[in-house]
Structure 1
């Protein structure tokens, strides 16, 4: 249990960084999860605490991106329902299986999503108009599995979701990014509730990261509105590939 005021403040600052990174690039856990480990939390407790804390990123991102979210209700609501159910399943998997069960496949998921993100517009042009006809069953299934991943581990779940949306929707990157923040946040919701009742959440640490991520995500959502789309998309993809390499090396070395 985090009790030191200095550690609490550092986790707030880490939350700000996580919120910024999450709202812009979908890589919030790249900042917050290592910070929780550095604060002394065991890996599973840090992962559970991080899932609860990232609800701040969702709230802050939604507040900062209200103009981009306008008019997206028809597609976002079904996706949120799908990822919420998937996130609950992922949370249960985390509680019921040995920690590290997905460590071998996670780097491949993130790496593949990063490549898809970088070539997403080309894939969308090959998708035979799927971007203009709402959600396809294949999109729903993919979103469900991303929700499972988000509830189980979550690192770079935003990259996975943004890669999916870029591949099937024809709208600005800022609007897809806003949708991504809300949809991946929904995957955390039921998982966070499940974790909250298990008694395994470090609540002071969760509060610190949540407070910071709330402000960071609000700021990030306004920043992304003014960034050029193609360099941002490529930058997120490259960052995701970097994370995939790091996680792959850690899995190999374990």
Structure 2
């Protein structure tokens, strides 16, 4: 890489780390840049996944106050995420890229619809619980576990919009604030990215320069994103999730059909 290409990758890493911590979809910043500097698609995907591990950990640390009291939830959901992450990483090397390119836009669209409708659906679910005398499951129950497992498979495969999928699922099935769920989302992303990265270290080709630049940039971005994201009220956070998700969806469609 030239010095200008290295600076571009570093800047992309900062942007990806920032947006990943607040919402998700940072891969849609770094991935095109890595392709632009000449990396093949699979090498770019693997290098990106390895580099973003540091940013995910940085974002999770930035949200540590919101993680208070969620230890059991985080451990349980992280175990699910780890299994899905390894499976997704294996699929990246085993399947043609078209296998997920068709499904991803559908998943992102569904996630955005769920994020928009989440307050209304949550109120309806709460009213039903009150009528039936039931209580919300602290970890979301089997349906959330299944959804997070599948989302983590996707996250280990590509990661773009992974955080939006997590937020949509948890927002629907866990009775808690968006900021606390966002903190859990950052831990899940860190776990999935880490286990996928460990897998890639042994079986896939990657570019160490790109990995290092994205790691440094996303670590900085993770702290920026945590400081900015924690100040957002729930309504603003929801609007940002939908806005970023819509942009991500458009980019995915252009990548798939453009």
Structure 2 counterpart of 1:223: 228
Structure 2 counterpart of 1:251: 256
Distance 1:246 1:28, change over 3 A: closer
1:86-101 aligned at under 5 Å gives the runs 86-101=84-99
Structure 1: how far apart are the matches of 2:122 and 2:5? 45
1:25-40 aligned at under 5 Å gives the runs 25-40=23-38
Q: Deviations over 1:77-114 (max 9, x none)?
A: 11111011101001101111112221111101011101
Structure 2: how far apart are the matches of 1:189 and 1:56? 9
Work out which of the residue numbers 151, 169, 182 in structure 2 matches 1:177.
182
Work out which of the residue numbers 17, 20, 39 in structure 1 matches 2:18.
20
Q: Deviations over 1:38-76 (max 9, x none)?
A: 221111111111111110121110221111111111111
Shift of 1:185: 2.1
CA RMSD of aligned residues (A): 1.6
> 240-249 vs 34-43, which deviates more?
240-249
Structure 2: how far apart are the matches of 1:133 and 1:212? 35
Structure 1 counterpart of 2:153: 148
- TM-score normalized by the length of structure 2: 0.92
Query: How many matched pairs?
Result: 251
1:156-175 aligned at under 5 Å gives the runs 156-175=161-180
SS at match of 2:96: coil
Structure 1: how far apart are the matches of 2:114 and 2:20? 18
Shift of 1:130: 6.3
Structure 2: how far apart are the matches of 1:131 and 1:4? 54
Structure 2: how far apart are the matches of 1:250 and 1:133? 38
Structure 2: tracts of 5 or more residues without a match: none
> 188-197 vs 148-157, which deviates more?
188-197
Could you tell me whether the CA contact under 8 Å between 1:53 and 1:207 is conserved in 2?
yes
Work out which of the residue numbers 55, 66, 69 in structure 1 matches 2:53.
55
> 145-154 vs 127-136, which deviates more?
127-136
SS at match of 2:69: coil
